[in-house]
Structure 1
Amino acid sequence: MPKETILIFDQEPHTRWILKALLESERYIVIALQDINRLKQNFKEFEISGLITEYWAGTQCMVDHIRELKKSFPDLYVMMLTQHEVEDKEYKRILTSGVDDLFIKPFSSEKILLHLKKGLRYRRLRIQKRKIEKELMRQRLIHHPNETRSL
């Protein structure tokens, strides 16, 4: 199975470098960016399995960008990094936008990898489940065409 592609979006070169080195050591394909327009373009050009992004990118909060990305890529695993603690209300807004995990910098490399692997495994299972359901529906249509029309 080919390794997944992980996109890292962070304004800090040091953070991008650390995450890129960490993920490449685990044999992930890694794209590291700091430009929001390039981020959106990469989703059109590549099959991105996971996104690691910061909470604030310059003057933009990434929460709304995540919400938009999840509309087009509902299975995308998203990890968000932030410099500061977030209030409970904002924490809820972040997680309901489609962010799967939230970490405060500085972060533990081990925890990043554990959560990333878990999130990507869950993503693969959702995709596999959808394929199986689609195949079951197709088989049902072939073998019982009258039964499924009433559904």
Structure 2
Amino acid sequence: MSDNSILLLDPYKSLLSTYRRILEGQNYVVETAVNLDEAFQKCASKQYTVFITEYLSPFEDICRVIQWLKSRSPETYIIMVTHADIDKTTYEALFDIGLDDLIFKPYPAEKILVHIRKGLRQRDLILKKQEVEKQSLLDPIATQIQKPIFSPTYFRKCLRQELKRARRHQHTLSLLLIRMPEEVTTGERFERFCQELARLVRTYTREEDMVGRENGNFGILLPETDQAGSEAVLKRLTRLIRNEESFRSDEAMRPYAETLSFQTFTYPETFLIPESLMSVLEEINKEYSRN
């Protein structure tokens, strides 16, 4: 998203020109649209910091654009300006679908600038929250190898979601665990070994498979994969790890690769998952028993 980029939507070009002069005078980057189709096309190709729109009819169309924009870019601050007499039901509906701010005409130029600054502060808070959430769902090793490896907490959350989905749609789900050597055994090579192993696992699993840390080990969730499929994945990964040049050429790491242990669990066939993950299964069983 471009910093301080604003999209103005108004059918009157004279008003757009006035808005543009005011906002560009405050060093905002301003683009304009005269109808919903033009605004939609611009939002589809670029993300804006603030979207300012007139209250346009038909009401259903402006609602669809606001809802679509908010789902696509939650941090975009959406302001509606109007002189229309908006009833309570319409007012509530606009905010329910994602409108952030509503300004009634007439108003001085300073007022729109105050509301834009408010929107920028809200955008910054949302972006910070998103960054915190991103950091909490990824294990530190993900930053080191530049590949998505989920944290233990988020990996359990993924397991819970995938189990519920498998139950609901009667699909299979497999969990593959790679049990690591004890850190005390690997010594100073432990971190490097973990990084190389994580990179290898993430590279040779499907995009839809979820790789994460679990009680010091690595876990791989394989959606819609039966026991035969999970065993095939296990054999392939075992072979790749054993033959990985970075492990074979390092006298310290080669024994660690050779002593890794693997387990597979498939729902609903043999889903006797490790004790460290049993709480996830118990939570789901409680939910289903209540229903």
Residue 4 of structure 1: aligned partner: 4
How much does 1:147 deviate? 4.6
Does the aligned pair in 2 maintain the 1:5–1:48 contact within 8 Å? yes
Gaps of at least 5 residues in structure 2 are: 141-150, 153-190, 192-211, 220-276, 281-291
Cα deviation, 1:18-45, whole Å, max 9, x if unaligned, reads: 2111111111110011032221111122
Does the aligned pair in 2 maintain the 1:81–1:102 contact within 8 Å? yes
**Pair 1:129-2:129 in alignment:** yes
Does the aligned pair in 2 maintain the 1:55–1:63 contact within 8 Å? no
Residue 146 of structure 1: aligned partner: 214
Does the aligned pair in 2 maintain the 1:3–1:27 contact within 8 Å? no
**Residue 147 and residue 113 in structure 1: after superposition, are their counterparts in 2 closer, same or farther (change >3 A)?**
farther
4+ runs deviating over 3 angstroms: 147-151
**Residue 88 and residue 147 in structure 1: after superposition, are their counterparts in 2 closer, same or farther (change >3 A)?**
farther
One-letter amino acid of the structure 2 residue matched with residue 146 of structure 1 = E
TM-score relative to the length of structure 2: 0.47
Gaps of at least 5 residues in structure 1 are: none
Provide the secondary structure at the position in 1 that maps to 2:22: helix
1:113 and 1:147 map into 2 onto residues whose CA distance is: 51
Percent of aligned positions that are identical: 27
1:67-146 aligned at under 5 Å gives the runs: 67-139=67-139, 141=151, 145-146=213-214
Report the number of matched residues: 148
Residue 60 of structure 1: aligned partner: 58
TM-score relative to the length of structure 1: 0.85
Provide the secondary structure at the position in 2 that maps to 1:145: strand
How much does 1:107 deviate? 2.1
* Structure with the greater alpha carbon radius of gyration: 2
Q: Which has the higher contact order (CA 8 A, sep 6+)?
A: 1
**Residue 71 and residue 3 in structure 1: after superposition, are their counterparts in 2 closer, same or farther (change >3 A)?**
closer
2:108 and 2:33 map into 1 onto residues whose CA distance is: 21
2:99 and 2:93 map into 1 onto residues whose CA distance is: 9
